[in-house]
Amino acid sequence: MNQTHENAPIDPAAIPQRKLASGTLMPAVGLGTFGSDHVTPAQVAEAVKGAAVVGYRHFDCASVYGNEVAVGASLEQIQRDGVKREELWITSKLWNDKHDDVIGSCRQSLEDLRLKYLDLYLVHWPFPNFHAPGCDVTSRSPDAKPYIHESYMKTWRQMEELVDMGLVRHIGTSNMTVPKLKLVLRDARIKPAVNEMELHPHFQQPELFKFVVENGIQPIGYCPIGSPGRPERDRTPEDTAPTEDPVIIEIARRHGVHPAAVCIKWAVQRGQTPIPFSVHNYRANLECVTRDPLTDEEMQAIATLDRNCRLIKGQVFLWKDGQTWEDLWDMSGEITPP
Ligand SMILES: NC(=O)c1ccc[n+]([C@@H]2O[C@H](COP(=O)([O-])OP(=O)(O)OC[C@H]3O[C@@H](n4cnc5c(N)ncnc54)[C@H](OP(=O)(O)O)[C@@H]3O)[C@@H](O)[C@H]2O)c1
């Protein structure tokens, strides 16, 4: 638990930063804010405040998390307590049923978060599909659509306009694949600064990781601990837990930290920006990247643990009968045809 006496701030200079293609720095660890249906907006907002006290400056928000109003009150409080706006890195995301109302959605997030601008705004998923929050993975929208590049670029043009308007500093993608990103990079006036993607020791996405890095796109890694608190609907019997991996447990024992901290150290040392969610352990998750790095041997041992185990499969985005979730991820290297 984050007890008061343990809350001495972590030296900001010790927290690694990522340099984006624009030259701007982004803290290399952020706090996730998706309460996974069981952590209330008030609890998340409390964690945001507490995390800022211990030294977090990067917060990963989204309209669909249903808590931007509560998080916004915390962000205002944090600034009232002396953290300057320019020291914060605030991300929000466009939800799937708003691909044709980017500017209105962004303005709503800005109002809810009580901000004049966002540091980063992401297209949350490349599929423009409505589905009810909290719906089961077997739920299908009758209006579900596949990825249609022309439609995505219409959305992206509005994302670019947000930058022109000064409402957001950077724009990025999330849940993309190499073939989709190739088209976006070809056609974008303002290229994605980041791609947010699932990344943890059991799902390392080496090909996509390499592609984004080579193309000047910073990888932000979600579910960095393997999302042990994710909703039941997002679990399948095949899923594995990186924090239960014997290799991770042994490395954690050696360093005297929780296996979750090993996942975060690995993420930062590999070069991605993890955004662990936590209402109880956020201090440990930031502190662990400021001291006692993993050795080269430990990094290599973790590199061999990849099980290609995607946890967030996205089944609700399937757009026609007879498909499996693999169709969403362009496994053949080509965009799955409509
Ligand atoms: N772009 C996207 O499509 C997308 C998709 C999914 C997630 N995300 C973002 O990524 C964030 C992180 O993903 P996630 O929340 O699914 O999973 P996660 O960060 O891998 O796991 C969070 C869980 O781990 C526990 N935990 C955290 N640190 C711990 C520690 N040091 N020791 C023990 N347990 C620890 C937390 O419990 P406690 O609260 O008890 O510490 C929580 O239950 C989300 O909050 C969201 O911001 C983005």
Are 92 and 68 in contact by the 8 Å Cβ rule? The answer is yes
pLDDT at 3: 40
Residue 156 Cα to ligand 1 middle (Å)? 28
What is the reported pLDDT for 5?
46
Mutation to probe ligand 1, out of 222, 262, 328 (largest number of atoms < 8 A from CB): 222
Q: Mean pLDDT for the chain?
A: 95
Condensed to tens digits (0 to 9), the pLDDT of residues 267-321 reads: 999 999 999 999 999 999 999 999 999 999 999 999 999 999 999 999 989 998 8
User: Which among 300, 312, 281 is positioned nearest to 29, based on CA atoms?
Assistant: 281
The pLDDT value recorded for residue 2 is 42
pLDDT along the chain (338 residues), means of 10: 60 93 98 94 98 97 97 98 98 97 98 98 94 76 89 98 98 98 98 98 98 98 96 90 98 98 98 98 98 98 98 92 93 94
**pLDDT given at position 151:** 97
Cα angle: 69, vertex 71, 72; to 5 degrees: 60
Structure tokens at 61: 């928000």
Nearest by Cα to 88 from 104, 74, 103, 102: 74
**Cα–Cα distance, 224 to 203 (Å, whole number):** 9
| Ligand 1 interacting residues, C-beta cut-off 6 A | 32-34, 60, 124, 174-175, 196, 222-230, 258, 260-261, 275-281, 284-285, 312
Q: Is 322 left (phi over 0), alpha (psi -120 to 50) or beta?
A: left
Cα 116 to averaged position of ligand 1 atoms, centre (Å): 27
Residue 132 is predicted with a pLDDT of 75
- Ligand 1: residue whose CA is nearest its atom 38: 278
DSSP code of 246?
Answer: H
Atom of ligand 1 nearest to the CA of 226: 20
Which residue shows structure tokens 């005297």? 256
State which ligand 1 atom lies nearest to the alpha carbon of 263: 20
Compute the radius of gyration of the chain from its Cα atoms: 19
* Confidence (pLDDT) at 6: 62
Nearest CA to 122 out of 155, 151, 91 is that of 91
Which ligand 1 atom is at minimum distance from the Cα of 60? 47
The set of catalytic residues is 65
